[in-house]
């Protein structure tokens, strides 16, 4: 079997599977980096003020949501995989996974940086720590938009 025959026979499932993998991997990379950034900032605060652990944990969890969004899209795509799916359907699913994969990756890192700055607010003035959460949640808006688009696209077209 040459490459053209392989692509014709199995290209759809390969592209769809690759899309699912990218949705999970890219958003997961971003979340891991973002959560790590906040964890580093919060660890320094814990040395001096361990009673602020709960509030710092909220900030650390925020960049992890992008990884969850990518995971959900990956699971939805896995439910649609079929060895006989056409190349067009597979490429469509691949493209549908890109919004959450790419936006999830970048926004999780940006959210991690913003949440790490929120740790500084928590350290200096605990009464204003909610403002740091609000700043970080603003970044989440774009991850949510990308998730919704990927969700709609993955479920929109039946080939």
CATH of the domain at 109: 1.20.120.610
Residue 1 placed within a domain: no
Instruction: Please state the separation of Cα 54 from the chain's center in Å.
Output: 23
Domains identified in the chain, total number = 1
For residue 74, give its domain range: 13-156
C-alpha 75/C-alpha 24 separation (Å) is 9
Residue 56 placed within a domain: yes
The pair of structure tokens assigned to 128 is 């204003």
pLDDT of residue 31: 98
Residue 3 placed within a domain: no
Please say whether the beta carbons of 155 and 147 come within 8 A: no
C-alpha 1/C-alpha 31 separation (Å) is 40
CB pairs under 8 A, 24+ apart, for 131-135?
132/59, 133/58, 133/59, 133/62
Residue 7 placed within a domain: no
Q: DSSP characters for 57-87?
A: HHHHHGGGHHHHHHHHHHHHHHTT--TT--H
Residue 35 placed within a domain: yes
Residue 78 placed within a domain: yes
Residue 8 placed within a domain: no
Instruction: Please state the separation of Cα 19 from the chain's center in Å.
Output: 14
Please say whether the beta carbons of 71 and 151 come within 8 A: no
- Select from 105, 91, 103 the least CA-distant residue to 153: 91
Q: b/e map of 68-102 (b: 16 or more CB within 10 Å)?
A: ebbbbbbebbeebeeeebebebbbbbbebbbbbbb
Taking only the tens of pLDDT, the chain with its 159 residues reads 787 887 777 889 999 999 999 999 999 999 999 999 999 999 999 999 999 999 999 999 999 999 999 999 999 999 999 999 999 999 999 999 999 999 999 999 999 999 999 999 999 998 999 999 999 999 999 999 999 999 999 998 766
pLDDT of residue 8: 76
pLDDT of residue 133: 94
Residue 137 placed within a domain: yes
């Amino acid at each position: 079997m040459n490459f053209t025959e392989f692509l014709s026979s199995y290209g759809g499932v390969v592209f769809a599977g690759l899309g699912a993998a990218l949705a999970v991997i890219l958003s997961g990379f971003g979340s891991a980096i973002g959560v790590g950034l906040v964890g580093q900032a919060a660890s320094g605060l814990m040395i001096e003020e361990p009673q602020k652990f709960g509030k710092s944990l909220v900030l650390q969890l925020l960049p992890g949501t992008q990884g969850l969004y990518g995971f959900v899209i990956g699971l939805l795509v896995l439910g649609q995989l079929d060895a006989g799916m056409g190349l067009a359907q597979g490429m469509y699913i691949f493209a549908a996974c890109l919004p959450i994969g790419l936006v999830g990756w970048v926004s999780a890192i940006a959210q991690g940086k913003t949440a790490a700055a929120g740790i500084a607010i928590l350290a200096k003035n605990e009464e204003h720590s909610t403002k740091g959460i609000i700043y970080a949640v603003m970044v989440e808006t774009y991850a949510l938009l990308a998730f919704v688009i990927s969700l709609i696209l993955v479920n929109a077209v039946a080939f």
